Structures are given as structure tokens and as C-alpha cells.
Chain A
Amino acid sequence: MPARFNITLCDGPSCIHKRSKEIVLRIEEELKKHALTDKVGINLSGCLGMCDKGPVMIINPGYAIYGSFTEEDVPEIIQQHILKKKPVVRFIVDEDHLYNRFFRVFGDVNFFGKQMRIALRNCGIIDPENIDDYISLRGYEALARVLTDMSPAKVIAEIKKSGLRGRGGAGFPTGIKWELTAKEKSDEKYVICNADEGDPGAFMDRSAIEGDPHTIVEGMVIAGFAIGASRGIVYIRAEYPLAVKRIKKAIAEARESGFLGENILGSGFNFEIEVRLGAGAFVCGEETALMLSIEGHRGMPRPRPPFPSVSGLFGKPTLINNVETWANIPVIILDGASWFSSLGTEKSKGTKVFALAGKVKNTGLVEVPMGTTLRQIIYDIGGGIPGDKQFKAVQTGGPSGGCLSEEYLDTKIDYESLAKAGSIMGSGGMIVIDEDSCMVNIAKFFLEFTQNESCGKCTPCREGTKRMLEILIRITEGKGTEKDIDKLQRLGNMIKKASLCGLGQSAPNPVLSTIKNFRAEYEEHVHNKRCRAGVCQHLLVYEVTDKCVGCAACKKACPADAVSGSPKAKHHIDINKCIKCGVCFKVCKFNAIRKS
């Protein structure tokens, strides 16, 4: 059973100076006293960056940050917070809005206990259509702070220091992107929020905008100030009408309250945001295609350089970040880059939101610190595989990502580890696959998607993915050869390196990674004409079982005359004539047809 509580104690030099080592001992003692040792985990962390308030301790769930206490206060905190589930307010650092959240999500500790919510901090907590709710939880305070006593350079330095990387897929350091755009001289610059979330099965951005649209607005205004831009654009899928409505409402409310428009909060800074709708093209998530789409063109990516930071929308320097990245900005400003960078792994800081779906008990949106393992997400948060089925694979990164097998379950979530394992972080889709799914078919599904979404501009993606798909279809129909697997790899590797944009460059990933991690399944399809998951229709064998009453429904329905038998006697399917259409299976009212 996973630990229900987690105590994270700052182990920085200044906290050690304030007797944090002794405090640990005291906590352990106290836990023992209440027989809580196996219900509460204790972690030590690097400096949490609140040295003036040391010693500092976070108790999760709840993110209650305790500071400026002594060993003597430990029993009270343990008894109140953990036993009585009532945090000791007087030690809680700052007017911490995170505190509020503790009780809010408490009823749901299995799901939320391992999570850490930064980007989604307000999602499911506030009324997204009421700016007062957002403001009451320190909303727009980060913006106010920036406008009060930070220079643009200082804002950028803070974002750089936080180690935040783009949450849209590639993981480019956000601060550097800001810096590059800031240093371009131009009469006009643009800030864009990329909300063209198109991965099948991913809905992080939609939830974030629907649940907390103001944080996006706030993040964008801060960026506008930092890079010297006065125009922002939210490019969002038209398929998300509610999200569109809420972001529009948030923009209007923010304008009314003086967080947008002229002379924001009396600072003299001006910034406007408009909303542009996508129209059903996955490739528009690619930044150059997105900008062309805003300009009123077909969303066909163009070669880079020039990069958007130099020549982007309407030829002006442009800063593009995705929804989740924007949602992190206000928190970094409010709680500090040091705190943010204390979370996560060496190269990937903060948290990441995943849309957990597929064959897992608790499907949903989860936000976890970088460095959490796949196993923790799938089993601790997701509750494992339903129906006692066997875990087979986890697909991360959507159609651009890869499928990882069981041996990778202890991979820590960060950009580099996932890439090393053969997948990507991507925008955060996470699909759990169990033994009932065929990996060749899964690869086919993703490739069908990218093939359908290819813009058609460059040859490798337009023509190459089509050929790969044809080969996969051949394999799933039992017509594949050993050479086909080699061809998939040859094409896949070429398409990865030769395509114009990220869509093409990553389109072969699901295929290549399944060949790498599940080659045996491919070979079974090719050599033994067998699909172990029983998914590939053409490889199925239909048989009549003893349940057959001889109603002849299947015989009449069979388009290939493969069924024989006299009335009221058990029928028989001629495997050689059977075209595996499955009609007999569908028409049988007695469940007498078995496919295997």
C-alpha cells in the first residue's frame, strides 16, 4: 500500500543550521509513537529556497508548507495535520493558497496523494467563469509583482533559473526562448498560446483552459512584459467550444478588471489578447504551421530557420508556448524559481500533466513531479490494470511518442529518460495498454492518425507514412513478410530524419518503438499469421462451438459460403473458405461462434 502522507524536509545548509537533522529524528519518533511509521513517508530535499523561513517542511497531500518551527512543535504538527487532518495554521508559510487545496482534494487521497498540482493548481477548485475566484487565490498577484518591482530582464532570469521547459513536446528551455525573443528589436512582437491540442486521447490543455483560464492570460501578460510585446493570441481548437467560451470570457473579465488593455494595473504597460480558432488540423500544433494558420493560410509548416523568435507571426518576433507552460509561469513568479527548480529531476524541473487513459482503473488528468516513475503513475495513481489483466505497454507522447514495455516501468518521467527509453514526453498523453491489445494494431492506429493529419507538403511524411501504413495493414492481414519489418524500419528511420516538421519527424515513433520493444509480436503476425491479442480480424479463426442449435443464421449470412451444416445440427466453418468478415459471429444469437 502506498504511503498516504509524505513529509518533505528541506535539507539545505540553512535548514540544517536550523536543526533540520534533529527535526527528522523527532518526526520519526513521533510517528512511531502514533504507529504511523508505515503510513507516512519522509523525504529530504535540496534547498527549497525559503531559507529565511527555515526550517521548512512540506506535508503532502496538501502541500502545507511549514516554516519557522522548532523540534518542540513537531508533535503538535504531526498530531494535528496527520492524525486530525488539520494543518497547524500558525506555522504555515505565507498566506499559502496551496493550503486551501489540501482539504479540497482530500476526499480523494488515493488519486491525488502522489500528485503535485502546479499547472492545474486551480482546476477543479475554482469557478473558471468567475474572475473573483481566481483573484481570491492570489490570481494576478504574479503579474502585479512583475509590474511592481521586476524588470523584463529579471523576469526572464527568473524563468531561466526555474529550469522550466516547454510542455508542448520538445522541451526547449522556456527562459531561453523568452530571452531570444526579447533580444530581437522590432516595432511589434507577438505572444502566442498554443492551445491546438490535437493528440488523440489527450485533453490536458482543454481541462486547463476550462478549469482555470485566467492563469493562461496572466502568464501571457507576464511574457508580453518580459519580451516587449503588446499583442497576444490564443490559438485554440474550434472543437473545444467550452474552452473557447471560457478563455474569451476570462479575457473580457481580465480586461474589465484592468489586467489587460491599456496601462495594466497602473503600470503603463499595454497588452491585448485575441482568440483565434483552429479548424481541425493536428499539424497546426507545429509552431510554423500554427502561425501560418493564424495568418489565414493552410497550416503547412515551413523550414526553420528563421525561428519564430526572429521572424514569426506576420514576420515579427514571436514567442509561442503551450497551455501547460503558460500555466506554470505565475507560480514560478509567485513562489520563486528556486522552489520550482527544487522539484523534479536534474534536467527536468517542476511537474508534468498527463492524460492517463486506456486500460487503467482511474483514468484522468494527473500532474506529478518530474522524476515520478511510470509505475507510480499507472499503479499508485491509476490504480493499475482493471480486470486482473496483464500490463503490456504504456504509450506516451501521443502519436509522436512510443510504446514502452514492462521493463521500462521504472523509468523516471523526464525529457531525457523517456527519450532514452525510445519514447517522448510529448504533450502528455499516456495510454496504458494491456494484453487485449495488439501492438501492431496500436502502431497502425497511431500511424493512421498521423497519416490522416499529414499536411502533405514534404515527401517523406506524405508518401512515406502512407507506405508504412500499407505495410502495417498488410501485416495485420497476415500478408506480411520478414522483409516488411525491415522496410518499416528503413522508411521509419528515413522519415524521422528527413521530414520537414515535427509531425513527420515523429510519425514513425509508434512503429519503430513497437518493433524495438515488441518485435516478437510483429514476427508472430508475419511468420505464424497469429495475433496473440486476438485483435487482427484477418488472423482470427472462427469456429462453431457446441452451443450451436443449428438455426442456420450464420449459414445464411456468410458471404463466402463457408458455413455448412444441416438444420438443427451443429454447423461447421470451412477455414479455407472463410474470409474472416465476422458476420457469423455477429448474427449468432446463441454465442456459439468462437473467434481465436
Chain B
Amino acid sequence: MITIFINDKPYQVEPEQTIMQAADRLGFHIPRLCYHPKLSIEGACRVCIVEVVGMRNYVASCAYPVSEGMKIYTNTEEIRRARRDIVELILDNHPEDCHTCERDGNCELQRLAFAMGIRKRHFEGEKKHYEKDLSSASVIRDPNKCILCGRCVRICSEIQKVNALGYAHRGFKTVVMPAYNMPFKDSVCTTCGQCINVCPTSAFIEKNFTQELFQKLGDKSLIKVAQIAPSVRAAIGEAFALEPGRQLEKELTAALRKLGFDYVFDTQFSADLTIMEEASEFLERFQGKGKLPMITSCSSAWMKCLEQFYPDLIDNVSTCKSPMSMASALIKTYFAKKIKADPKKILSVACMCCTAKKYEALRPELMVDGMQATDMVITTRELAWMIKSAGIDLLHIKGEEFDHPLGYSSGAGTIFGVTGGVMEAAIRTAYELYTGETLLDIEIQDIRGLKGIKEGKLIIDGKEIRVAVAHGLGNANEILSAIRTDPERYHFVEIMGCPGGCIGGGGQPYAGSNSMPLDEECLMKRAEALYGLDRNKTIRRSHENPDVQRLYKEFLGRPLGAVSHKLLHTHYSPKEPRGIVPAELTVK
């Protein structure tokens, strides 16, 4: 332990940490902007500067280590003024349109400006002016709002290893953009939306469908059908100032009906269905029909990533559609028939924790009978806004149940939202389908938790099956590279595009005033909400879901059968531009 002085008072702290880390633990929250605990230290925004006795200049507390006897001042008049001026300089080059901005009230810069006490402006001048990029199906890029903290660049290169974004040009003209300033849709962007999650302002934001949806909800000629992804219920409370970890499944169902939906289904139902298909597909491959390892295909960011970065592994990927697209396909066929409706009159809306699902919905391969299966995808954030905007009191609403026949789910379908969940659910079913025995210990701890890469083994009928789970495309890269060199290493691999799996999706609520986006503790609590739902269910295995069983009996026949093949499976093909994961270089 060493002694440091903060604002003249002595403290004992651990050596080998930064001033900011030490101060955080002591209860001094030094203002910050470009810093993110999961990303490399940038030291760029200079908001976290402090005074250190003996140093000629201010010191960026995020980057500077503590040392014995160090005298630090975090809140002198001078440093307050310097910080204030720095934040004002950022504002000076930022559109002053807070009240018409998507992130009004939710913006880190706005909070910071308020905390710095900027009530008067001194230095206004020329502002940057660039075109918004609206080309992507999922993510809108607005360089005018960008304050160049670089978090998006770092998450895209360091965590996701996609490298779609980089700094271009320099000085006052620096802009974060894809290569050649090409439209986002033509870039290697996987639409994962993590840039939105970490952006302190609204330089990145999802393509918003709320106005259009409100309009359609008022259209009496349409049958409005919603589905909700597992992770939405685990996180939407945060947008209503609840602590992370409280699930609002029944409240959401009620709220969606109040918004004007005629039917509210659960994506967890189709998750169970996915497991039926996927577990069967795995067992087929395991018995020699098809390539191993088999890799999951639920995550649409991962699917785009696959086609651009790993076209050589396309045959390893399960042909199963994602649960969303399975549900949508059924809504426009099975369900339409059931209610004797013209599928063209059905508006199928998916409420997702994900931005990439907006892209997925437009994939031509997923058309059903010439129709787009999922008509519209809104994120958790958009849904929260709609509920608030419509004046629905989500927290005090009386809970309701999902509609049938696509509303009932097992616990296995629930845990799809967490990294490792698909694998766990698949194992629960595959084991029993293959051996005919009941798997007793269905909570597979090896593949739970937030470790980047998780590995596990299980013995089915005397045969060893090696599985691996990765979340975040950067971690996925490690596993995929390993598979390229050693295809025998695993039998079954789960890949989720976002850190934490869907609970950490690019469409989840923004972090609050005292938390960081992608905060691990928050992710753990969201995960726990879903694991809790699973634990409280009597049916925890997909193949035991009675509605799934009925669906096969009435409509699909059998897993991997002809109808399944038509409605529940798809295919992938190599796409340009080819993505590149550099060997040793990270974009700085």
C-alpha cells in the first residue's frame, strides 16, 4: 500500500493503478468522457484532468499511475475552470439541438455539461457540418454529433475486431467513419450496434421506426402482431429508472396490447422451436451428415460477420433461422391460417434487444411466400420510448400473459438471451433426444458467466462432445481462428455478436448517470433475471414445450422436415466487402 493525498487528505491505496481508479475506490468520481473500463486508455478528451503537485501540466487521471506521496487535487478552482472550458469547447463544436435530439435527457455530454456548470458560453465559433449517413438498415451515423471520444472506434476494433470504423483526416477535420467514407451499408459493419451503446451522444443511433409504428398501430385494416425477445424483458426496466435485473415480462405484454397490438407473442417460443431444429441438426451432423463443428446462427450480427469475414466457415453454420425469423415465418403462415387472415394484412413487429435484427429482417433469403416475414424491428430503447410516449405506466400496469399459439416457452427458450444460453438449451434437448434419458443437471455452469470464451465437455452415450461459447465478435474470432487451424477441436460452438450475448445487445437501454455502458455488473444482473425466469419454470426443456409439440403435430411434421426446411431454415453466401481481422494490429 502507498500513501497518496487527494485534496490534502492522506489515503492508503494500492500501487499499480491509475489516479482515476484509486479515486473511484475512495469515492471521488472524477468527471470523464473518453474513458471506458473495457477499452484501451485513450487520454483524449482531457475531461478527467487533475492537478498533481510537481507536474507542470494537468494530468489525465485515467492514464497516470499513482505513486507514493503523490499530492493530487481534483477540485480546485483552476482545475474546475479548465475542465469546464474543455467541455465547453466540445459543446462549441456540437449541434445545439438537444431538445430535438434522440438522446435528450439520456446524453452523457448533456449530463457532463450540466455537472461542469456551463451556464454561459464564451468561445462559440465554426461548427463542423457533415452529411448524416442513413444508408444502413440498422445504424445511423451522424458525425455532427460526434465528439471524437473514440469509444466507438475502440469497441469496433478492440472488442468486436470488426474494424468498420476508424478516424479519418486529422485535427479539427477529424471524423469517425468507415473506410473511404463509404455508406455504412457498403462497409464491413456487422450492424451489432455496440457503437451506439458506447457513444456518449447520438453520433450513432439505431434507425428509428417508432413514428412509423405508431402510425401503423392506428391502421384498423392491419392485424398487429408483436413478439418480444428474451433480453428485452430483462433490461427495459432500466429505461424506467429501475435497477438492472428486474424482468418485466408480463408488464410488457400488457403494455404492448395497450399500444395497440392485437397479438403479443414471445420470441422465446420460437427459441424453443430453434432448439428442436438446431439440436436435431447437430445430431445429424454428429452422426456424419454435415460439417462439424456446428456453429449457431441466432445472432444476426454474427451472420453478417460470417458472410464477410469467415465465408470459408459458412458450411459449419447451422441453417436454422434466428428465433425472430422463425416466429415471423410462422406468424405469416401457421398463425395466419389459424386466424383465417390474409398474411398480407398482418403487421409483424419484433421487439428486440438488437440493432442487427433490423438488418436481418431485410435479408431476401428470409422472405416467406414473397413477403417480408418481419415487417418491422424496434429496439428495447425504441419500445421504452413508445411506452412512455403513449403514456403507459409500465411499472404499475397489471401484468398479462402472452397469446397462443406462439406465446408459451420453456426455461430453455428464456436463457437464449444470455451468452451460453443457446448452447445450454441445445444440450438439454440434444442429450435427451439422442440418449432418450433425462439430463438431471441442466444448469451447465461451465458455459455460464461473462468469460470471453467458455469451453465445456459432455458425454453423450459414451461419446465426448466438446463445446465452446464466445460472445462478442472479438472473442468469436479467437474460436473461429482455432477452428480454422484445428477443425476437430470442437463439435458445437455458440457465437453471439454482442458482449454478454443478447442482454448486451446494441438496442438495449442506455447506461444511466452512474453507470457505464457494458458494465459487467449490469450485464450479470440482466443475465440473472433470465436465469431466474428459467428456474421458476416447471418446463425447462424445449422439447417439452407443449405448444411446440402441437406445432409439429399440426403443421411442421418433424424437425428438419420439408415444412421446417422451407420455413425455418435459410442459407448464407460470401459477401463483399471482405472483412479483415488483423493479426497483431489494433487500430489506434
Which A residues are closer than 8 A to B by beta carbons?
281, 292, 296-298, 300, 302-303, 305, 451-460, 462-464, 466-467, 470, 487, 490-491, 494, 496-500, 505
Closest chain-B Cβ to A39's Cβ sits at a distance in Å of 47
What is the bound-complex CA distance between A303 and B18, given in angstroms? 12
What is the bound-complex CA distance between A496 and B56, given in angstroms? 10
Chain B interface main SS type: loop
A458 neighbours in B (Cβ, 8 Å): 43-46
The interface centre, meaning the residue of A459, A466, A505 with most chain B CB atoms within 10 A of its CB, is A459
B588 neighbours in A (Cβ, 8 Å): 292, 297-298, 300, 302
A490 neighbours in B (Cβ, 8 Å): 85, 122
| A to B CB contacts below 8 Å, 29 in the list | A292-B588, A298-B170, A300-B167, A300-B588, A303-B43, A453-B171, A454-B172, A456-B167, A457-B148, A458-B45, A459-B45, A459-B47, A459-B89, A459-B148, A462-B148, A462-B172, A463-B90, A463-B172, A466-B93, A466-B125, A466-B126, A466-B172, A467-B89, A467-B125, A494-B81, A494-B82, A497-B57, A497-B58, A499-B46
Known: A297-B588, A460-B86. A498 touches B49 (CB 8 A): yes
Known: A451-B171, A454-B172. A463 touches B46 (CB 8 A): no
Known: A494-B86, A497-B58, A500-B60. A462 touches B171 (CB 8 A): yes
A505 neighbours in B (Cβ, 8 Å): 57
Which listed residue, B47, B60, B64, B148, touches A456 by the CB 8 Å rule? B148
Q: How large is the interface on B (under 10, 10 to 19, 20 to 34, 35 or more residues)?
A: 35 or more
Closest chain-B Cβ to A10's Cβ sits at a distance in Å of 38
B455 neighbours in A (Cβ, 8 Å): none
In the complex, B92 has a CB within 8 A of chain A: yes
Known: A456-B174, A459-B148, A498-B58. 8 other contacts (CB 8 A): A296-B585, A297-B587, A456-B148, A457-B148, A459-B44, A470-B126, A498-B86, A500-B43
Tell me whether B171 and A455 are in contact (CB under 8 A): yes
Tell me whether A303 and B171 are in contact (CB under 8 A): no
Closest chain-B Cβ to A488's Cβ sits at a distance in Å of 10
What is the bound-complex CA distance between A416 and B444, given in angstroms? 68
What is the bound-complex CA distance between A490 and B174, given in angstroms? 25
What is the bound-complex CA distance between A508 and B126, given in angstroms? 19
What is the bound-complex CA distance between A454 and B46, given in angstroms? 15
Known: A305-B65, A500-B46. A467 touches B148 (CB 8 A): no
B60 neighbours in A (Cβ, 8 Å): 303, 500
A459 neighbours in B (Cβ, 8 Å): 44-47, 86, 89-90, 148
Closest chain-B Cβ to A343's Cβ sits at a distance in Å of 28
What is the bound-complex CA distance between A396 and B123, given in angstroms? 29
What is the bound-complex CA distance between A594 and B142, given in angstroms? 50
What is the bound-complex CA distance between A305 and B56, given in angstroms? 15
Which chain B residues (68-116) contact chain A, with CB distance < 8 Å?
81-82, 85-86, 89-90, 92-93
Closest chain-A Cβ to B177's Cβ sits at a distance in Å of 13
What is the bound-complex CA distance between A189 and B28, given in angstroms? 39
What is the bound-complex CA distance between A298 and B44, given in angstroms? 14
Closest chain-A Cβ to B261's Cβ sits at a distance in Å of 46
What is the bound-complex CA distance between A109 and B148, given in angstroms? 55
Which listed residue, A303, A452, A457, A464, touches B41 by the CB 8 Å rule? A303
In the complex, B63 has a CB within 8 A of chain A: yes
In the complex, B340 has a CB within 8 A of chain A: no
B396 neighbours in A (Cβ, 8 Å): none
CB-CB nearest in chain B for A470: B125
A303 neighbours in B (Cβ, 8 Å): 41, 43, 60, 63-64
In the complex, B173 has a CB within 8 A of chain A: yes
Tell me whether B171 and A463 are in contact (CB under 8 A): no
A467 neighbours in B (Cβ, 8 Å): 89, 92, 123, 125
Closest chain-A Cβ to B90's Cβ sits at a distance in Å of 6
Tell me whether A302 and B167 are in contact (CB under 8 A): no
Known: A303-B43, A498-B82. A456 touches B171 (CB 8 A): yes
Known: A454-B172, A462-B174. A302 touches B43 (CB 8 A): yes
B585 neighbours in A (Cβ, 8 Å): 296
B46 neighbours in A (Cβ, 8 Å): 458-460, 498-500
A454 neighbours in B (Cβ, 8 Å): 170-172
Which listed residue, B123, B125, B170, touches A455 by the CB 8 Å rule? B170
Closest chain-A Cβ to B87's Cβ sits at a distance in Å of 8
Closest chain-B Cβ to A263's Cβ sits at a distance in Å of 31
- Chain B positions 16 through 47: 1 when the CB is less than 8 Å from some CB of chain A, otherwise 0: 00000000000000000000000001111111
B125 neighbours in A (Cβ, 8 Å): 466-467, 470
B123 neighbours in A (Cβ, 8 Å): 467, 487, 491
Tell me whether B89 and A464 are in contact (CB under 8 A): yes
- Chain B positions 407 through 445: 1 when the CB is less than 8 Å from some CB of chain A, otherwise 0: 000000000000000000000000000000000000000
Tell me whether B173 and A456 are in contact (CB under 8 A): yes
What is the bound-complex CA distance between A458 and B41, given in angstroms? 13
What is the bound-complex CA distance between A280 and B159, given in angstroms? 31
Known: A305-B65, A462-B148, A494-B86. A457 touches B92 (CB 8 A): no
A462 neighbours in B (Cβ, 8 Å): 148, 171-172, 174
B43 neighbours in A (Cβ, 8 Å): 302-303, 458, 500
Which listed residue, B56, B64, B92, B172, touches A451 by the CB 8 Å rule? B172
What is the bound-complex CA distance between A55 and B81, given in angstroms? 62
